[in-house]
């Protein structure tokens, strides 16, 4: 049937068309996800309850959703700022792990005066995260080494380092499990008292606002768009191409590192082998669906936080596996991406 | 002009009495209302190598694309081997025994040679597996004497090897009429010789070959007859090569009615741009620069004519600062810019209009306002470090849209949505600002309609009258001649000669274009 069909790029897809495509994609994605979950044993009637009511409409659920969303916002932003200059940061988990390791070192070692302990963890985590992406960045700028491979592999190295520490010097002396001892109070974000939510939300809010301003209201966003869309023209026009790429990519690493600190100082209060898992995939999902725009990153991360919250409930009550939750994310992502594709291209068949 | 329209003699015909291999009569073809072929004709005999020469844009490729079924002609008659045939697709042309090797090769880089050829064989072929294809290719390559290794991946092949793959493919598809579009432009001297001898052999075996070229020595050394095209017309149809000399070819190619008029400089200004000894090693596919020199004065247009691919792109890239020369210096107004960044070059007053607007000039995805502000923001013209004045950008864009009469534009619209002429106006509006001292314009009216062309040329004229200097690099001789005060010709990466406009003759320019000094 598609023996002779062509994809024709639409000239200027209107707001209505892209909106409709986006909504259509979301609907299909949710429908397929619902079908999958029902097949896996979740009663259809419980879906709305778990995914909407228990995530946004109850006080407990909402605080859960917000708490889960905090690191998602940070990794989503990390992916988004690099994406703006067409740098595919596939090493987000690696930078996140190293940020967490740096913060753990400060927390366990009691480095610095107590009032400055948490700020020091945050700063050091960000710096180390940025340092971990500096190598792939340098390799790319200097030799054209593909960053997809280099960041991904450095991610694995970071995880091995974490394991090395957890099975070695940082093993919990009390239980002998490969997790660190619990952090002292000074190394934690204070609890707000509303569910699990901690004051890290102020930090995440401030970071999002700052990035939103940076990318929308200063030249940085302007340079980034020119560099991202047409690097040759940006060069010829005399824009600071190298500085723009370097700045935003390092920022991406720093945000990932910060996400690592936020997780262990906010909710886990210790470093373990599971705190950073799955964030790479979520980061890409969030940044893609948000089209690399900070404000939309916030929105999408909240939605994804809800999926995680609901997922946790489903895991407990209906013994749904972790993989199902990833599958739901993936299904929604793929269907929206397909919808985006058809808002950009029209299918035409010659008569 | 009519008296120069020779008719084909009997020479070059190995098989007298047989119908011509290919005959095109009165072919018209327009692109978007712009005529590319006007009553063009061409006749090819079996057993000959037939050269088609003409300036860039003369319509050579278009005419052959019509013959090969890539384009449908708007009017005219076509026969292949005596039978009326107007192929409506390359496949139909192939079925009729005609195959074309295009200027830009059409191979899948990541596939092997066998896989590529298998891809074009289609469903009816008896060859269905890569192994069968490899055997067929090896047999064909041996038969015609072209070395081709079926097992290699195309991405690893040199340009000459890719070309051989294309030729073997076309022959394997059953072509007895072979059209080669500027095959030697991408080859070294040695490789070109090999190819041309091969082509001769093929013709002697009874094939018919069309060879599009710019080089007279290839015509004289390897072809039987020559057809010359200019502005979409055939100005000489199939004259025996032995009867024609280089001067005449040059004159017919360029046209005698060259609108060359004295264009004295009102006031020859100081040297604004001086380039000396510019040298760059050729990269894998390109042409390098070879100790290139010129000086450009305030208030003048220096036109650089030349067949495309003789180093024009490389020169512009070096001037822009996108690539670095190996040797030589670039000075602007006394300042040494040889190693300066694009930003510093712009600051010194250098402005560029590149030949490909959307490759190094504009960003498709950005709005017109953003494109206009592209070179300004870094200078702090739209707000400081902590704020980008987008409103100011929009206002400036509105003003530019008005004063340059950019149609179909609003500040917020994406540049990609503009027509060619209007995109070029956006570029002009950005580059022709108050700080401009030297304008480098590369084929500034390529692909534009009459009106837009005039607009662009007037803008350049005005800029120069205002005291700027302009380096006009163009493959369109008309453009060079209609604007320049001095004309230089570029060949193989250096300036082959330079004259004041009043002293330019068709013979001089033709000879330099063809690579004869
Ligand atoms: N696909 C096309 N669309 C629009 N214009 C074209 C196209 N192909 C060729 N032209 C125009 O037709 C004219 C002849 O071009 P071409 O046949 O490529 O010249 P040549 O091969 O002699 O250099 C030129 O003005 C060119 O811009
Ligand atoms: Mg051509």
DSSP codes of every residue in B262-305: ----SS---EEEEEEEEEE---SSS--EEEEEEEEETT-EEEEE
Report whether pLDDT(B227) > 70: yes
Q: Map residue A6 onto helix, strand or coil.
A: strand
Q: Are residues B284 and B420 in the same domain?
A: yes
B361 neighbourhood in chain A, CB within 8 Å: 233, 236
Q: Which residue is listed with tokens 């594709």?
A: A341
How many angstroms is it from B59 CA to the middle of ligand 2?
7
Query: pLDDT tier at B185 (50, 70, 90 boundaries)?
Result: confident
In a domain, B262, yes or no: no
Which CA distances in Å does B76 have to B26, B67, B290, B446?
A: 5, 11, 45, 27
- CB contacts of B360 in chain A (<8 Å) are 232-233, 235-236
> Which whole number is the average pLDDT over A291-312?
90
- The answer to whether position B263 is within a domain reads no
Structural domain boundaries of chain A? 71-296
Provide the ipTM.
0.87
Contacts of B95 (CB under 8 A, 6+ apart): B87, B174
B261 lies in a domain?
no
pLDDT at B184 over 70: yes
A184 DSSP 8-state letter: P
> What pLDDT score does A229 carry?
96
Q: Do A238 and B354 touch (CB under 8 A)?
A: no
| Spatial separation of the C-alpha atoms in residues B8 and B14, rounded to whole Å | 14
Q: Above 60 in pLDDT, residue B491?
A: yes
Contact B360 A232 (CB under 8 A): yes
The residue from B146, B174, B202 where one domain ends is B174
- Looking from the CA of residue B212, the nearest atom of ligand 1 is 21
Region of B22 (left: φ > 0; alpha: ψ -120 to 50; beta: rest) is beta
Q: Can you give the pLDDT at residue B429? A: 96
Domain end marker among B119, B142, B174: B174
Question: Does residue B265 fall inside a structural domain?
Answer: no
Alpha-carbon dihedral B404, B406, B410, B413, rounded to 10 degrees: -120
Tally of structural domains, chain B: 3
pLDDT at B256: 57
**Pocket lining: B306 vs ligand 1, CB cutoff 6 Å:** no
* Residues whose CB is less than 8 angstroms from the CB of residue B479 and which lie 6 or more positions away in sequence, other chains included: B303, B443, B444, B445, B457, B472
pLDDT at B263: 63
Q: Looking at the CA of B102, which ligand is closest?
A: 2
Residues B233 and B115 in one domain: no
A230 contacts on B by Cβ (under 8 Å): 358-359, 362-365
pLDDT for A186? 94
CA distance B133 to chain A (A): 24
Answer yes or no: do B364 and B328 share one domain.
Answer: yes
pLDDT value for B10 = 38
Structure tokens at A176: 């002998």
Q: How many CB atoms lie within 10 A of CB A319?
A: 10
Res B351: pLDDT: 97
**Shared-domain flag, residues B87 and B199:** yes
Residues B153 and B228 both lie in one domain: no
Residue nearest atom 12 in ligand 1 by C-alpha distance? B36
- Whether B59 lines ligand 1, by a CB cut-off of 6 Å, is yes
Instruction: State whether the beta carbon of B86 lies less than 6 angstroms from ligand 1.
Output: no
Under the banding of pLDDT at 50, 70 and 90, the label for residue B477 is: confident
pLDDT of residue B478: 82
CA B236 to chain centre: 22
A 108-167: CB under 8 A from B: none
pLDDT, position A221: 95
Residue A1: band (very low, low, confident or very high) from pLDDT cuts 50, 70, 90: very low
Residue at a domain's end among B174, B207, B225: B174
Rounded to the nearest angstrom, the distance between the alpha carbon of B56 and the centre of ligand 1 is: 9
Give the Cα separation of A155 and A160 in Å (integer).
9
Whether residue B5 is predicted with pLDDT greater than 50 in this model: the reply is no
User: What is the average per-residue pLDDT within A145-161?
Assistant: 96
CA distance A247 to chain B (A): 15
How far does the CA of residue A330 sit from the closest CA of chain B (Å)? Answer: 28
Same domain, B355 and B314: yes
- Of A14-28, A90-104, B298-312, give the range with the top mean pLDDT: A90-104
Alpha-carbon span B512 to B508, nearest angstrom = 6
The verdict on residue B46 lying in a domain is yes
Q: Are residues B435 and B506 in the same domain?
A: yes
More confident residue, A237 or B247: A237
Predicted confidence (pLDDT) at residue A300 exceeds the cutoff of 70: yes
Say yes or no: B195 and B70 in one domain: yes
How deeply is B344 buried, as exposed, middle or buried, from its count of CB atoms within 10 A (0-12, 13-18, 19+)?
middle
Give B361's pLDDT tier (boundaries 50, 70, 90).
very high
Q: In terms of domains, do B342 and B276 share one?
A: yes
Across the interface, whether the CB atoms of A233 and B363 are under 8 A apart is answered: yes
Q: Is the pLDDT confidence value at A263 over 50?
A: yes
* Domain boundaries, position B218: 2-97+176-256
**Phi then psi for B214, rounded to 5 degrees?**
-110, -5
Please write the tens of the pLDDT for every residue from A32-76: 999 999 998 888 888 888 888 888 889 999 999 999 999 999 999
Closest to A129 in 3D by CA, of A74, A72, A175: A74
For the ranges A65-69, B121-125, B127-131, the lowest mean pLDDT is seen at B121-125
Distance B385 CA to ligand 2 centre (A): 48
Contact residues on chain A for B409, CB-CB shorter than 8 A? none
Global pTM value = 0.79
Of A72-81, A115-124, B117-126, B480-489, least confident by mean pLDDT is B117-126
Band of pLDDT at residue B51, cut at 50, 70 and 90: very high
């Amino acid at each position: 049937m598609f023996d002779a069909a062509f994809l024709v790029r639409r000239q200027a897809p209107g707001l209505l068309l892209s909106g409709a495509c986006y909504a259509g994609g979301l609907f299909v994605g949710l429908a397929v996800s619902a079908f999958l979950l029902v097949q896996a044993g979740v009663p259809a009637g419980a879906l709305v309850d778990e995914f909407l009511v228990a995530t946004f409409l109850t006080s407990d659920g909402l605080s859960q959703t917000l708490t889960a969303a905090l690191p998602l916002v940070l990794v989503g932003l990390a992916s988004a700022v690099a994406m703006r200059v067409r740098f595919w940061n596939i090493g987000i988990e690696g930078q996140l792990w190293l940020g967490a390791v740096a913060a753990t070192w400060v927390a366990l070692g009691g480095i610095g005066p107590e009032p400055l302990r948490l700020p020091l963890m945050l700063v050091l985590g960000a710096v180390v995260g940025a340092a971990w992406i500096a190598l792939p960045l340098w390799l790319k700028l200097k030799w054209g080494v593909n960053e997809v491979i280099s960041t991904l592999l450095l991610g694995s190295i970071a995880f091995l380092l974490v394991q090395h520490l957890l099975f070695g010097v940082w093993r919990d002396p009390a239980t002998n499990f490969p997790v660190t001892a619990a952090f002292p109070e000074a190394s934690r974000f204070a609890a707000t008292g509303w569910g699990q939510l901690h004051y890290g939300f102020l930090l995440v809010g401030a970071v999002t606002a700052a990035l939103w301003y940076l990318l929308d209201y200063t030249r940085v966003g302007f340079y980034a768009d020119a560099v991202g869309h047409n690097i040759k023209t940006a060069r010829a026009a005399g824009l600071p191409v190298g500085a723009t790429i370097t700045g935003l990519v390092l920022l991406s690493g720093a945000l990932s590192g910060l996400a690592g600190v936020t997780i262990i100082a906010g909710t886990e209060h210790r470093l373990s082998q599971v705190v950073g898992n799955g964030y790479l995939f979520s980061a890409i999902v969030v940044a893609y669906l948000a089209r690399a725009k900070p404000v939309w990153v916030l929105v999408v991360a909240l939605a994804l936080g809800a999926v995680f919250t609901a997922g946790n409930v489903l895991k407990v009550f209906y013994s749904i596996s972790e993989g199902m939750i990833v599958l739901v994310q993936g299904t929604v992502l793929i269907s929206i991406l397909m919808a985006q594709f058809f808002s950009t291209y029209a299918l035409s068949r010659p008569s | 002009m009519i008296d120069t329209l020779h008719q084909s003699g009997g020479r070059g015909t190995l098989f007298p009495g047989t119908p011509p291999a290919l005959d095109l009569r009165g072919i018209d073809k327009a692109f978007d209302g712009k005529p590319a072929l006007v009553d063009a004709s061409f006749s090819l005999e079996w057993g000959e190598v037939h050269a088609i020469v003409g300036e860039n844009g003369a319509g050579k490729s278009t005419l052959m694309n019509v013959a090969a079924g890539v384009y449908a002609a708007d009017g005219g008659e076509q026969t292949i081997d005596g039978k009326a045939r107007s192929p409506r697709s390359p496949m139909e042309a192939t079925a009729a025994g005609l195959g074309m090797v295009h200027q830009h090769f059409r191979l899948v880089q990541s596939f092997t040679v066998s896989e590529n050829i298998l891809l074009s064989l289609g469903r009816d072929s008896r060859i269905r597996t890569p192994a069968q294809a490899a055997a067929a290719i090896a047999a064909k390559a041996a038969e015609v004497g072209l070395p081709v290794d079926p097992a290699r991946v195309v991405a690893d092949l040199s340009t000459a090897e890719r070309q051989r793959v294309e030729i073997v493919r076309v022959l394997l598809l059953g072509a007895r009429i072979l059209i080669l579009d500027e095959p030697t432009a991408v080859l070294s001297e040695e490789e070109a010789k090999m190819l041309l001898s091969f082509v001769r052999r093929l013709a002697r075996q009874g094939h018919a070959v069309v060879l599009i070229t710019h080089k007279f020595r290839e015509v004289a050394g390897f072809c039987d007859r020559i057809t010359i095209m200019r502005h979409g017309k055939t100005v000489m149809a199939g004259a025996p090569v032995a009867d024609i000399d280089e001067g005449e070819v040059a004159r017919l190619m360029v046209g005698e009615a060259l609108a060359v008029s004295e264009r004295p400089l009102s006031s020859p200004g100081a040297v604004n741009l001086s380039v000396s000894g510019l040298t760059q090693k050729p990269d894998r596919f390109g042409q390098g620069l070879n100790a290139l020199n010129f000086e450009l004065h305030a208030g003048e247009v220096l036109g650089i004519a030349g067949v495309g691919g003789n180093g024009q792109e490389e020169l512009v890239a070096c001037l822009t600062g996108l690539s670095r020369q190996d040797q030589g210096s670039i000075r602007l107004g006394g300042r040494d810019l040889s190693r300066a960044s694009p930003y510093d070059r712009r600051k010194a007053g250098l402005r560029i209009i590149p030949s490909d607007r959307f490759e190094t000039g504009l960003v498709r995805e950005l709005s017109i306002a953003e494109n206009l502000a592209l070179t300004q923001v870094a200078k702090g013209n739209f707000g400081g470090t902590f704020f980008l004045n987008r409103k100011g950008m929009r206002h400036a864009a509105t003003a530019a849209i008005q004063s340059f009469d950019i149609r179909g534009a609003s500040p917020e619209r994406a540049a990609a949505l503009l027509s060619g002429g209007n995109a070029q106006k956006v570029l002009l509006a950005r580059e022709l600002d108050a700080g401009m001292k030297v304008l480098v314009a590369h084929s500034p009216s390529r692909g534009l309609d009459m009106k837009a062309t005039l607009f662009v040329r007037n803008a350049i004229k005005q800029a120069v009258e205002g005291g700027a200097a302009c380096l006009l690099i163009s493959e369109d001789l008309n453009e060079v001649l209609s604007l320049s005060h001095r004309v230089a010709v570029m060949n193989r990466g250096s300036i082959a000669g330079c004259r004041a406009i009043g002293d330019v003759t068709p013979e001089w320019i033709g000879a330099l274009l063809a690579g004869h000094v």
